[in-house]
Chains A and B, each alone.
Chain A
Amino acid sequence: MFIPVDQFEDRNVTITIDKQEFQVPEGISVAAAILGHGGHADCRCSFVHGEKRAPFCFIGVCHECLVEIDGKPNQQACLVLVRDGMHIVKQQVKEG
C-alpha cells in the first residue's frame, strides 16, 4: 500500500478498478491508481500458484504489475498513464 504525499487538489480523471469507481489525479500511472488511490495492495495473481503479486521494480522490468486495461490483458501498470473512462481489472487468472 502507498500513501499520497499531498492532497492532489485536481482529481479530474474517473477510472474504475475492478468495477469500483475512483477519481484520481491526471498524469499518474495505473500502478499508482491501484496502489495509492484504489486501496489495493496487489495488482495480479501469479501464473502458476495464484499467489498475490504487486509491483516490485516500478521501472518496467519485473512485469509483476500486469493488469487488464480496457479489456486488453497483460498491460504493465507502471508504464501506462490513467485516462478518463479507463477500466482496470486486476488479473486473477492463472496461465494456460
Chain B
Amino acid sequence: MKTKWEVIVVGAGPAGMACAASCAEQGMGVLVLDEQPSPGGQIYRNIERQRDKVLAVLGQEYLRGAGLATRLRISGAEYKPLSKAWKVESNGRVCFSENGSSREVQGKRVVLAIGAMERPVPFSGWTLPGVAEAGGVDAFLKSDGLVPQGPVAIAGSGPIMLLVAGHLNKLGVEVNSFFDTTPSLSVLSALPHLLPALRRVDYLAKGVAMLMETRKSVGQYKRGVSHYEAVGAEHVTAVVAHKHGKATTVPASTLLVHEGIIPRTEFTRQLRLAHKWDGVQRYWYPDIDEDGRTSLPAIFVAGDSGFVHGGVAAELKGEITALAIAAELGKGGAFNEKRQKSLRKQLAHELLTRSFVDAMYSPRPNLSAVDDHVTVCRCEEVTAKTIRALVSSGQTAPEQVKAVSRCGMGPCQGRMCSSSLIEIMASETGKNAQDLPPLNVRPPVRNIGLGELANATLLPHNAAQKSSS
C-alpha cells in the first residue's frame, strides 16, 4: 500500500465521506481510515446493504447517506474499512491497526472526522447487562438487524430518545416506559433561541410530531424525572425512576439511556491542541476555525468531532474543509470560492435550530450527583465514593486521582469516565468543571497489543527513532 498521501481522512461518517470524496474529486490522493466495516459512520451505518425491513423504519433521512457513500466509492479515494487509527502526529503521520498489524502512513493534511459519542453518565446499575446507550443500540440495529428484548425502558434526555423509541415501536418492540429527565425549566433557557429556530419550522414540526407519536406509542411517558436506576442481579430486571422524591418501578429486560452527544476528542487531545469549553452542553471541543483548521498546519477537524451539529451539518463541514485543503495544496477549480460561499450559507441554515435544541437539552444539573456506591469508571470499577474520598484527602488534580484510583486507566482509556470524574471533582471542590485540567491522552489511543506495537511498520524517520530509543 502507498504510504504517502495528500490527504488522510480518519472516519467515514458524513463529514469524512464528504471531505474524502470532495478531495479525491479534485485530484488529490486520499486515504480514508474507518473503524467500521463500511462507510456511513453511526448515523448512516450499513447504508450500502441495509435490510428492507430496517430501511422502511429508518426512512428518508437515513437514505441521504446512500448518495454520500456512493460518492465516496466512485471518487477515487482509497477506503480502508476496519482500520483503527491509534496515533496522529503533528506532521501528518498516522499510525493505524488493521487485521492485527499496524503501520504508519503520511499525509500532507490529516482530517480528523471521528464524530461524536453519547455522553456517558454513571448511575446505579449502569454496568448491568441489558443496560445500553440508546443511540448505540440504534446503530446496532442498522448494522446487525437486531432489536433489544422487550419490555424496554428508555431514560434520559434529548431528541435521539424519541427517534429510537419510534424505531423500536415500528419494529414491534414493547417500549413500556419513557422517562424524560429534561428539566422543565430548560424551555426558559431555550426560549431566547427560538426566533432563529422558527425559520426552520420544518425541523421543529418534525420534533413535535415525534414527541406526539412517542407519547402515543409507549406504555407510560413520564416527564420531569430527576434520575433513574437499573435494578437486577446479573441482568437488568427493573428500572426505577425518581420524580419529586417519589420512586416508580417498572419491569424491564432492557434499559436504554441517552444523555446527549459529545464530540470525540481523543486525537485532538493526544495532539495537545487547544480546546474550548461549551458551557451549555458542558463539553470540550477543539479550537478550530470555520474551515476546520487547527493550530497545526497539517491537522484539520471536520464534523461532529469539532462540535456536535448533527449529520447534515457534518457533511457540509466535511466539504468546506475539503475546499480549504484544495486551496492550500493548489488544487481545485475556479468555482471553489463560489461553492465555499454557498456551503457556508447552507451550513448557517442548518444551524438555525441548534442553539435552541442545545439549550433545551443541556445536561441536567444533577448529572454528577450520583450516590457513593455508583461505579464511575466501568473498566477499573472505581466508585464515586473513592473519588470523593481522594478529593477530601487533598487530591485536587484529576491526573492525581487517576493515578491513585486507576479511574480512567482501563481499556477504554477514560472515554467512559473522564467527563464524570471531572464533574464529580468539580462539584466536590466547588470549582467549575472547565477549570480542572482534563485527563491526558497518550498514544496509542487504541488498545494495541504490545507485540503489535513493537512490530509496527513505521516510516523511515520514526523507525530510526524507535531503534535508537
Give the A-B pair count, Cβ closer than 8 A: 134
Cβ of B117 within 8 Å of any chain A Cβ, yes or no, is yes
- Across the interface, do A59 and B53 meet the contact criterion of CB distance under 8 Å? no
Chain A, range 11-67, C-beta contacts under 8 Å to B: 27-29, 31-32, 35-36, 41-42, 46-49, 51-64, 66
Per-position 1/0 for B63-86, Cβ under 8 A of A: 000000000000000000010100
- Across the interface, do B129 and A58 meet the contact criterion of CB distance under 8 Å? no
CB distance from B288 to the nearest CB of A (A): 22
Cβ of B235 within 8 Å of any chain A Cβ, yes or no, is yes
Given A47-B410, A63-B447, A58 and B146 contact (CB-CB distance below 8 Å): no
Contact residues on B (Cβ < 8 Å of other chain), bracket: 35 or more
- Across the interface, do A74 and B381 meet the contact criterion of CB distance under 8 Å? no
CB distance from A68 to the nearest CB of B (A): 13
- Across the interface, do A58 and B51 meet the contact criterion of CB distance under 8 Å? no
Cβ of B412 within 8 Å of any chain A Cβ, yes or no, is yes
- Across the interface, do A31 and B129 meet the contact criterion of CB distance under 8 Å? no
Q: How many angstroms between the C-alpha atoms of A42 and B128 in the bound complex?
A: 9
- Across the interface, do B380 and A47 meet the contact criterion of CB distance under 8 Å? yes
CB distance from B320 to the nearest CB of A (A): 25
**Residue in B49, B143, B253 whose beta carbon sits within 8 Å of that of A29 in the complex:** B143
- Across the interface, do B133 and A58 meet the contact criterion of CB distance under 8 Å? yes
CB distance from A62 to the nearest CB of B (A): 5
- Across the interface, do A62 and B147 meet the contact criterion of CB distance under 8 Å? no
CB distance from B106 to the nearest CB of A (A): 25
The interface residues of chain A lying within 8 Å CB-to-CB of B144 are 2, 28-29, 31-32, 36
Q: How many angstroms between the C-alpha atoms of A57 and B415 in the bound complex?
A: 11
**Residue in A27, A42, A55, A74 whose beta carbon sits within 8 Å of that of B49 in the complex:** A27
- Across the interface, do A56 and B54 meet the contact criterion of CB distance under 8 Å? no
Given A57-B136, A63-B412, A52 and B129 contact (CB-CB distance below 8 Å): yes
Chain B, range 86-127, C-beta contacts under 8 Å to A: 100, 117-118, 120, 126-127
**Residue among B118, B120, B136, B139 with the most chain A CB within 10 A?**
B136
The interface residues of chain B lying within 8 Å CB-to-CB of A58 are 132-133, 136-137, 139-140
Cβ of B310 within 8 Å of any chain A Cβ, yes or no, is no
- Across the interface, do A62 and B235 meet the contact criterion of CB distance under 8 Å? no
Q: How many angstroms between the C-alpha atoms of A78 and B132 in the bound complex?
A: 13
In the complex formed, the residue of B with least CB distance to A55 is B132
- Across the interface, do A61 and B117 meet the contact criterion of CB distance under 8 Å? yes
CB distance from B28 to the nearest CB of A (A): 28
- Across the interface, do A51 and B82 meet the contact criterion of CB distance under 8 Å? no
Known: A5-B51, A47-B381. 14 other contacts (CB 8 A): A2-B144, A2-B149, A6-B145, A41-B235, A42-B129, A46-B378, A47-B410, A52-B235, A55-B140, A56-B126, A61-B117, A61-B416, A62-B416, A74-B411
Pick 16 A–B contacts, CB within 8 A, sort by A.
A1-B130, A2-B149, A4-B146, A5-B145, A31-B140, A32-B140, A32-B143, A41-B130, A47-B381, A53-B129, A59-B136, A61-B117, A61-B415, A64-B378, A79-B84, A81-B82
Q: Lowest 5 CB-CB distances: which A-B pairs, in order?
A: A58-B136, A54-B129, A32-B144, A2-B146, A36-B146
